[in-house]
Amino acid sequence: MDDKGVEDAAILLMSLGEEEAAEVFKHLEPKEVQSLGEAIARMKAVTKERIGNVLDRFAKESTEMGVLVADNDEYIKAVLRKALGDDKANLLIDRIIQGSDVTGIESLKWMDAGSVAELLRNEHPQIVAAILVHLDPDQSSSVLKFFPERQRNEVMVRIATLDGIQPSALKDLNEVLSKVLAGGQQIRKSSLGGVKPAAEIINMMGSSIETSVLDYIREADGDLAQRIMDNMFTFDDLIKLDDKGFQSLLKEVQTESLIIALKGASPEIREKVFKNMSSRAAETLREDLESRGPVKLSEVEAEQKELLKIVRRLADEGQIVMGGGGDDEYV
């Protein structure tokens, strides 16, 4: 959802009133709650016209969506696969339809990375790996940054070699978190772990940590390290996108975010960006880059990570084809 969509959702929630808005928030993911909360906090004055447009649009769309389907299971399978692609959809289908309850692990999504790391610090690397593959890659990478280097690297090896999670293991995970899984005996093996999620987590780490982790894995298993690298897509790999894909990407990126991300980009990537913009837009962007003062590398890497998330989303939607491939300094 773009910034305007978030603002419209915030306006709708504010129009509902506190109790109704609270009920809606109960059904949202942590990041969605944070995004909407920030939008509401930023919102000062909204015109009656905009409020009316938002409510009219909601009424229209909710009316159009009022038809129920005959087979809910097949419907949600088809919708999720169309929206997310087979791999991601199958993970959710396992949880939604097969009853794979990971409520204890899901609660970690509401905790800050330091608290999660403290909770898992003394657990076996295999347990930590099995928990982290249930979290978003950016949260998992943030948690791992709090671990000692050797422990962090060992966990990444376990994630990369993890071949699904058995129901009994899911029960053990929730015992670690003082939670109880519902219906665990009936759950089939969950299709989590493996080279791809390991690559996604490493992608979210700073450059120095990324190098350390890959070097450690390479020493233990060179072939595994190569397969992880084949699934990674870094900011430097943007140069591999064709012009059509690059233009699709630029449509989704906010100008301010792009400026900060490009502060740490190679001349080749900058030229690739300019090439895929109009002459006027490219000239404006050049001037903004030249006039912008020093930016912390951590801020640059954060914006580059956000841009890579957009790349992965567009790739999942089939709009672009990806080719695989943080420390605080000033650039």
> How many residues comprise the chain?
331
Q: At what angle do helices 195-203 and 149-161 cross, to 10 degrees?
A: 140
Q: Which residue is listed with tokens 């109880």?
A: 180
The whole-number pLDDT of residue 147 equals 92
Residue 229 structure tokens: 């690298």
Q: Both 126 and 226 in a single domain?
A: yes
Q: Which of 64, 80, 111 is the last residue of a domain?
A: 64
Q: For residue 157, is it within any domain?
A: yes
Q: For residue 79, is it within any domain?
A: no
Q: For residue 241, is it within any domain?
A: yes
Q: Both 113 and 224 in a single domain?
A: yes
Q: Which of 49, 64, 79 is the last residue of a domain?
A: 64
The whole-number pLDDT of residue 311 equals 85
Q: For residue 122, is it within any domain?
A: yes
Phi, psi at residue 126, to the nearest 5°? -65, -40
Kindly report the pTM of this predicted structure. 0.39
Angle at 313 between CA 307 and CA 318, to 5 degrees: 125
Distance CA(55)–CA(80), nearest Å, equals 27
Q: At what angle do helices 3-16 and 18-25 cross, to 10 degrees?
A: 130
Burial (0-12, 13-18, 19+ Cβ within 10 Å), 77:
middle
Residue 80 structure tokens: 């999720």
- Pick the closest to residue 327 from 202, 207, 148, 147 (CA basis): 207
Query: Which domain does 15 fall in, by range?
Result: 3-64
Q: For residue 9, is it within any domain?
A: yes
The whole-number pLDDT of residue 152 equals 92
Q: For residue 89, is it within any domain?
A: no
The set of residues, in sequence order, having a beta carbon less than 8 Å from that of 49 and lying 6+ positions away, is: none
Spell out the per-residue pLDDT of the chain, length 331, in tens: 567 788 888 888 888 877 887 788 777 777 777 777 778 777 777 888 888 888 888 877 766 655 444 555 666 666 667 766 676 666 556 555 444 445 567 777 777 888 888 878 878 888 888 888 888 888 899 999 999 888 999 999 999 988 777 666 666 666 666 543 333 333 334 455 788 788 878 877 766 788 888 888 888 888 888 888 777 777 888 888 888 888 989 999 888 999 999 988 888 999 999 999 999 999 999 999 988 888 888 888 888 888 888 887 887 787 887 654 444 444 5
Q: Both 259 and 290 in a single domain?
A: yes
The whole-number pLDDT of residue 180 equals 32
Q: Both 165 and 118 in a single domain?
A: yes
Q: For residue 187, is it within any domain?
A: yes
Q: Both 128 and 174 in a single domain?
A: yes
The whole-number pLDDT of residue 104 equals 66
The whole-number pLDDT of residue 330 equals 41
Angle at 237 between CA 232 and CA 238, to 5 degrees: 125
What 3-state DSSP class applies to 165? strand
Q: Both 204 and 249 in a single domain?
A: no
Q: Both 214 and 239 in a single domain?
A: no
Q: Both 102 and 225 in a single domain?
A: yes
Residue 137 zone, left/alpha/beta (φ > 0; ψ -120 to 50; rest): alpha
Tally the domains of the chain: 3
Distance CA(185)–CA(211), nearest Å, equals 40
Please report, for the domain that includes residue 293, its CATH number. 1.10.220.30
Q: Both 166 and 57 in a single domain?
A: no
Write down the H helix ranges in the chain: 3-16, 18-25, 30-42, 48-64, 72-84, 86-96, 103-106, 113-120, 125-132, 137-144, 149-161, 167-176, 195-203, 207-220, 222-231, 243-252, 255-262, 267-275, 279-291, 297-316
Q: Both 253 and 198 in a single domain?
A: no
Q: For residue 188, is it within any domain?
A: yes
> Which residue type occupies 50?
R
Q: Both 136 and 185 in a single domain?
A: yes
What 3-state DSSP class applies to 190? strand
Q: Both 223 and 293 in a single domain?
A: no
Q: Which of 231, 246, 273 is the last residue of a domain?
A: 231
The whole-number pLDDT of residue 189 equals 40
315 near 237, Cβ under 8 Å? no
